Structure 1
Amino acid sequence: MRIYMKSETRYIFSKGDLLQKDFSIKFSTDDSNIYLPIKDTKEIYCFNEITMSTKLLNMLAKAGIIIHFFGYYENYIGTFYPKDYLFSGKLTIGQSQVYFNRRMDIAKAIVKGIAYNIHFVLYHYYRHGKEELKPFLDWVKNDTCMLIEKCSDIKKLLSVEGEIWARFYSTFKYILPEDFRMNKRVKRPPDNPINALISFSNSLLYTKTITQLYHTHLNQTISYLHEPSESRFSLSLDLSEVFKPIITFRTIFDCVNNRKLTVEKHFDKKLNYALLNEDGRKIFINEFENRLNQTFQHPVLKRKVTYKQAIRLDAYKLIKFILEDKEFIPFNVEKKI
């Protein structure tokens, strides 16, 4: 399978050329051609060497199609990002003013959102007999809000966030099989199967957030929890954080505990099992997309929405905070809002 199609996303795994053919995208390899209609495509993921023409890029830019590039080790390389078509000078000025005057309000809300959603995800396992999780769940529920509120600057807040994630990772020994245990979080490059899954899934979630924010008026370079950066869309890093427990780790736990992925079958043995092989990558992407497109009843909108749409709704909440001073509360998986 050279291209995997899910919803409006196209995943390309083979070497080839991306070309424009009339009003379609043509993916050409040595032995076949695949045509992708422009109107049904919103984003493309490239996991192999791809050649593209400026003619194609011009067409993709006009259609607002985003392309994400990954390297051989499943590391995120970068994104072809069409020029902002919803650019708002007023909102950019507002984002900047909030950064200087009320940055901590947003940053604290994000860290609280991380803690709430981690608690919800792990409480499922506690209810199903994993009583060893109780000390962590009690700490998250009773202590983290106080620790967050006491923070007077970003550096201290990031330290609390780091402690939340570190304690969360320490619970994996209670809910994952032994061959997926984590000694410590290692990112660049991952050093074992669980670190590989986390890094890959976080990169997918980050790029999904980039795509959702592209369709808002927000400036992706102005962020609040993460430092604004010239080399990345740091606001997407901010807004993706609260969805990691729901999307990244729920997908990982499901794939591992239900043996949809196994170390022997789905990781590259030559690389110390620290990289998904092609079969493993396709399985994980399918499960990730299923999770992202899972629907729930939104209590305010009174209709079904997906978790992918919830990311954009969080962006709209941030806009309301900036322009209308309405409290910013990131997505809470328990309340579904």
Structure 2
Amino acid sequence: MGKTKYIFTSGKLSRKDFSLCYRDVDNNINYFPIEEVREIYILNEVSINTKLLDFLGRYSIFIHFFNYYGNYSGTFCPKEEYLSGRLLVQQLEKYKIDRIRIAKSIVKGIALNIIEVLYHYHRHNKPVKEYIDNIRKIVFNELDKVEQIKRILYIEGFVWKEFYSALRIVLPEDFYLKERVKRPPDNPINALISFGNTMLYTKTVSAIYQTHLNPTISYLHEPAERRFSLALDISEVFKPIIVFRTILDLVNNNRISKINHFDKNMNYAVLNEEGKKIFIAEFENRLNKVIEHKRLKRKVTYQTLLKYDCYKLIKDIMEGVEFIPYNDKNKE
């Protein structure tokens, strides 16, 4: 299995024999053997051609494109190798008859992982117990009673709102979260959240494409045009333990700062190149962190767990084994 390659500078990416050749604007050249590459993230203006795309497609390598501001532009997906008409039919059928149950399971998974993140700060005497209790109350007392997707989405929104409120207690003043603003982010903390969420979304898109699932048929989020809504379903559960732990670690340990790592000309609402590099390095470290999985009885990374949740969903769709998303407290 290759590694993720990140390109931060402007330049040209092309094929050279059985390697990738990257030439930056200063004419510096780097070669990457194709077998060492799993996926590519382009975070600046880079020229490519169809010869390169054909080459990457043959090796099932994705390219995720971002603009300078850290906004996600799109993904080049290789030709699907894991098509399954039988699973597609069953995935649609499950959406029609069992969407509510699966959506509830996803929201419960989100809540449990948020609680696990907040409990760390509760144990360190931060006054976040009220928010933990509020999340527990609505999820364990109200969620099972609702039977409409709008009400489930309302509960999901409430859970995230309580989490954001708790973050105001555990983050320093420069990263105070007054409210969640997405398009575009309006301050450093919103910039970090948006960038991290998009990074996780693209990782999840790649994971789904390595299974037989159709990425456009989702259960919590509405299936929609121009996005892989199932990637939103799967990634949502992992946001607290991957994206937000990355942010909290970087900010609270002064490894990323408002003055040094954000673009002053953009009202500090855009990570600069150094800031992106720091964030991505920690994000990759967390994705590749190894845990002992209780059910699998072996060591796995969080990157693997993303795909494993996809397979658990397939088991639900095809065999009726209830889909229960990954729980970081129980490590299963």
SS at match of 1:34: strand
Find the counterpart in structure 1 of residue 311 from structure 2.
316
Matched, 1:250 2:262: no
Matched, 1:74 2:70: yes
Matched, 1:193 2:188: yes
Q: Runs of 5+ in structure 2 lacking a partner?
A: none
Find the counterpart in structure 2 of residue 329 from structure 1.
324
C-alpha separation in 2, matches of 1:19 and 1:273: 34
Matched, 1:168 2:157: no
Paired residues of 2:7 and 2:42 also in contact (CA < 8 A): yes
SS at match of 2:142: helix
Q: How far off is 1:146 after superposition?
A: 2.2
Q: How far off is 1:303 after superposition?
A: 1.2
Matched, 1:184 2:168: no
Matched, 1:107 2:91: no
- Could you state the TM-score of these two structures normalised by the residue count of structure 1? 0.96
Find the counterpart in structure 2 of residue 203 from structure 1.
198
Find the counterpart in structure 2 of residue 40 from structure 1.
36
Q: Deviations over 1:59-115 (max 9, x none)?
A: 100100000000121001100001110110000001000011101111100000000
SS at match of 2:106: helix
Find the counterpart in structure 2 of residue 263 from structure 1.
258
Task: Work out which of the residue numbers 302, 305, 312 in structure 1 matches 2:297.
Answer: 302
C-alpha separation in 2, matches of 1:65 and 1:16: 19
- Could you state the TM-score of these two structures normalised by the residue count of structure 2? 0.98
SS at match of 1:249: helix
SS at match of 2:326: coil
Matched, 1:93 2:105: no
CA RMSD in angstroms comes to: 1.1
C-alpha separation in 2, matches of 1:178 and 1:248: 20
Q: How far off is 1:7 after superposition?
A: 6.2
Q: How far off is 1:15 after superposition?
A: 1.1
Q: Deviations over 1:27-85 (max 9, x none)?
A: 12241211111111111000111111111100100100000000121001100001110
Find the counterpart in structure 1 of residue 58 from structure 2.
62
C-alpha separation in 2, matches of 1:266 and 1:7: 29
Find the counterpart in structure 1 of residue 45 from structure 2.
49
Matched, 1:279 2:298: no
Q: How far off is 1:143 after superposition?
A: 3.1
Q: For residue 162 of structure 2, what is the amino acid of its counterpart?
A: R
C-alpha separation in 2, matches of 1:137 and 1:104: 24
Paired residues of 2:263 and 2:270 also in contact (CA < 8 A): yes
Q: Mean Cα displacement is larger for which, 195-204 or 148-157?
A: 148-157
Matched, 1:229 2:224: yes
Provide the aligned length of Structure 1 versus Structure 2.
Answer: 331
C-alpha separation in 2, matches of 1:289 and 1:48: 19
Q: How far off is 1:153 after superposition?
A: 1.1
Find the counterpart in structure 2 of residue 26 from structure 1.
21
Q: For residue 250 of structure 2, what is the amino acid of its counterpart?
A: C
Find the counterpart in structure 2 of residue 3 from structure 1.
none
C-alpha separation in 2, matches of 1:227 and 1:21: 42
Q: For residue 136 of structure 1, what is the amino acid of its counterpart?
A: Y
SS at match of 1:42: strand
C-alpha separation in 2, matches of 1:69 and 1:304: 31
Matched, 1:289 2:284: yes
Paired residues of 2:250 and 2:279 also in contact (CA < 8 A): yes
Instruction: Evaluate the alpha carbon distance shift between residue 312 and residue 170 of structure 1 in structure 2; reply closer, same or farther with a 3 A threshold.
Output: same
Q: Mean Cα displacement is larger for which, 327-336 or 24-33?
A: 24-33
Q: Deviations over 1:125-181 (max 9, x none)?
A: 000111x21111112223322221122111111111111101110111210101101
SS at match of 1:91: helix
Q: For residue 122 of structure 1, what is the amino acid of its counterpart?
A: L
Runs of 4+ with >4 A deviation: none
Q: For residue 290 of structure 2, what is the amino acid of its counterpart?
A: T
Q: For residue 79 of structure 1, what is the amino acid of its counterpart?
A: T
Q: For residue 68 of structure 2, what is the amino acid of its counterpart?
A: Y
C-alpha separation in 2, matches of 1:104 and 1:145: 16
Q: Mean Cα displacement is larger for which, 139-148 or 94-103?
A: 139-148
Q: Deviations over 1:285-305 (max 9, x none)?
A: 000000010000011222110
C-alpha separation in 2, matches of 1:79 and 1:96: 24
Q: For residue 73 of structure 2, what is the amino acid of its counterpart?
A: I
Identity over aligned pairs, percent: 55
